[in-house]
Amino acid sequence: MPVGLLTLAGIERAAHAQLPPEIWDFIEGGSGAERTLTANREMFGRHALRPRTLVDVSACDPALTLLGAPLRLPLGIAPMAYHRLVDPEGETATARAAGRAGALLVAGMFASRTLEEIAAAATGPLWLQLYWLRERVVLAALVERAEAAGYGALVLTVDAPRIGRRLRDLRNGFAVPSAVRAVNLDQALTAASHRATAGRSGIAEHAREQFDPALSWTDLAWLRERTRLPLVLKGILTAEDARLAVEHGVDAVLVSNHGGRQLDGAMPALAALPEVVDAVPAELPVLFDGGVRSGTDLAIALALGARAVLVGRPALWGLATDGEAGVHRVLDLLREELEHTMALLGRPRLADLDRTVLAPWPCPAG
Ligand SMILES: Cc1cc2nc3c(=O)[nH]c(=O)nc-3n(C[C@H](O)[C@H](O)[C@H](O)COP(=O)(O)O)c2cc1C
Ligand SMILES: CC(C)CC(=O)C(=O)O
């Protein structure tokens, strides 16, 4: 293994070196001035760890069950559109890697392989992410297919009534290359994503046409009636919305600001995590994504109350550099680093990772 690939940052550099600039910008970019994107990372640096000593750490066990799914560690891959932008195989390679690592895969509604192909490749827990389309029949059909194919939960993304102003995509006039398609949707529905126009983003245009910006809390009942699958809301950042999510009967919430790609200036995801955790009953799983790049980051999010943590961009870096093996390398590095962190922290069980693990950084004087 090349020495640079000992960290996710090394894999990121390798992916950057080989991807076309407009694809890199689409993946890496955030919205607006990218304040939230930057802050997602910076927040992890505000926490120091408080290691305990003389604890038997000969067996560190990060395994858990999440909404009925057995995971070897509290880690998953966040839903991301179009994995074939970076690898000819796309989501099926990602699914095999996740299964081998014992991690969760959340496939995206805009996957570039069919839901059935992804399910056939998956050997571990698999969930499906949805955006709420104006055409509810399309949504209903996808839900039916997901159930038939064995998906274990639905993740409804609620932070995107429209697409954030992603300046890199606007400057690049970004359009999804015609060879890469959201194959689970009718081609007519996604045509705008493939239309390159100077100063515009094909993805934003497409979302403007298709996403339903009128969606509100009362609509969730429509989705609930159509499925027996657990429902997760993705994009919750406040205690108010966390409480509403509980009132509306969701099975889990995912604290996320969409990797800094939606509302620029939104709270860094890690800063939002404690208020959401404190607002929901202890048994309701709170998941987290945004800026996780190491096992230390994972441990910090778990200590703040996340039941499991998802990574977005790092999975695509792995996929771009070495297909299935690359994604597996990313997940395996995170597992290795998490177990290492748990051992040196003197917290061999996930239940030991609570807020007593954390202190502010820099440590207060005196
Ligand atoms: C290229 C890319 C595509 C994404 N596509 C989706 C999507 O289709 N649906 C969704 O809910 N979130 C999407 N996201 C957001 C991720 O699910 C996740 O919230 C975010 O990437 C987490 O932050 P991280 O990349 O810093 O780990 C996407 C993110 C990226 C980078
Ligand atoms: C197709 C897009 C709507 C995918 C997305 O959510 C994103 O790029 O962040």
Cβ atoms < 10 Å from Cβ of 208: 13
- On whether 355 is known to bind a ligand per the annotation, the reply is no
Residue 119 to residue 158: CA distance in whole angstroms = 24
Q: If you average pLDDT over residues 275-283, what whole number do you get? A: 98
pLDDT over 70 (residue 187): yes
**Residue 189 — very low, low, confident or very high, per pLDDT cuts 50/70/90?**
confident
Among 84, 80, 66, residue whose Cα is nearest residue 125: 66
Q: If you average pLDDT over residues 59-73, what whole number do you get? A: 96
Q: If you average pLDDT over residues 236-241, what whole number do you get? A: 98
Ligand 2 contact, 261 CB (< 6 A): yes
Cβ partners under 8 Å of residue 83, min gap 6: 90, 91, 93, 94, 111, 112, 113, 316, 319
What value does the mean pLDDT of the chain take? 96
**Residue 365 — very low, low, confident or very high, per pLDDT cuts 50/70/90?**
low
What are the CA-CA distances from residue 279 to residues 3, 236, 240, 247, 322 (Å)?
43, 12, 8, 11, 41
Percentage of the chain exceeding pLDDT 90: 93
Residue 246 pLDDT = 98
Instruction: Compute, in degrees rounded to 10, the torsion defined by CA atoms 26, 252, 67, 222.
Output: -90
Among 323, 332, 310, residue whose Cα is nearest residue 90: 323
What are the DSSP E strand ranges found in the chain? Answer: 47-49, 64-66, 69-71, 75-77, 104-107, 126-130, 154-157, 231-236, 252-255, 286-289, 308-311, 358-360
DSSP, residue by residue, 65-80: EETTEEESSSEEEPP-
Question: Can 194 be counted among the known catalytic residues?
Answer: no
Residue 195 to residue 325: CA distance in whole angstroms = 33
Q: If you average pLDDT over residues 99-106, what whole number do you get? A: 98
Closest ligand 2 atom, CA of 262? 9
Residue 35 to residue 37: CA distance in whole angstroms = 5
Contact 33, 264 (CB under 8 A): yes
Ligand 2 contact, 80 CB (< 6 A): no
- On whether 56 is known to bind a ligand per the annotation, the reply is no
**Residue 363 — very low, low, confident or very high, per pLDDT cuts 50/70/90?**
low
Residue nearest to atom 3 of ligand 1 (CA): 80
**Residue 263 — very low, low, confident or very high, per pLDDT cuts 50/70/90?**
very high
Tokens (6 digits) for 170: 């606007």
Ligand 1 contact, 12 CB (< 6 A): no
Residue nearest to atom 21 of ligand 1 (CA): 312
Q: At 339, phi and psi to the nearest 5?
A: -60, -40
Closest ligand 2 atom, CA of 160? 6
Query: In this structure, which ligand is nearest to the CA of 262?
Result: 2
Residue 366 pLDDT = 52
CATH of domain 3-347: 3.20.20.70
Residue 3 pLDDT = 57
**Residue 2 — very low, low, confident or very high, per pLDDT cuts 50/70/90?**
low
Among 353, 348, 346, residue whose Cα is nearest residue 308: 353
Phi-psi region of 33 (alpha: psi -120 to 50; beta: other; left: phi over 0): alpha
Cβ partners under 8 Å of residue 271, min gap 6: 39, 43
Ligand 1 contact, 153 CB (< 6 A): no
Give residue 286 CA to ligand 1 midpoint distance, Å. Answer: 17
Residue nearest to atom 20 of ligand 1 (CA): 259
Q: If you average pLDDT over residues 86-104, what whole number do you get? A: 98
- Which one is catalytic: 47, 258, 328, 340? 258
Q: Environment class of residue 174 by beta-carbon count within 10 Å: exposed (0-12), middle (13-18) or buried (19+)?
A: buried
| Residue whose pair of structure tokens reads 């100063």 in the numeric block | 199
Cα 201 off chain centre by: 22
Residue 177 pLDDT = 95
**Residue 142 — very low, low, confident or very high, per pLDDT cuts 50/70/90?**
very high
Give residue 259 CA to ligand 2 midpoint distance, Å. Answer: 10
Q: What is the pLDDT of residues 20-40, one digit of tens each?
A: 999 999 999 999 999 999 999
pLDDT over 60 (residue 192): yes
Ligand 1 contact, 108 CB (< 6 A): yes
Which neighbouring-strand residues pair with 71? 64
Give residue 6 CA to ligand 1 midpoint distance, Å. Answer: 24
Among 99, 102, 104, 51, residue whose Cα is nearest residue 78: 104
Which amino acid is it at 360?
P
Q: Where in the chain are the domains?
A: 3-347
Residue 1 pLDDT = 55
Closest ligand 1 atom, CA of 316? 1
DSSP, residue by residue, 103-162: -EEEE-TT-SS-HHHHHHH--S-EEEEE--BS-HHHHHHHHHHHHHHT---EEEE-S-SS
Residue 72 to residue 84: CA distance in whole angstroms = 27
Q: If you average pLDDT over residues 93-118, what whole number do you get? A: 98
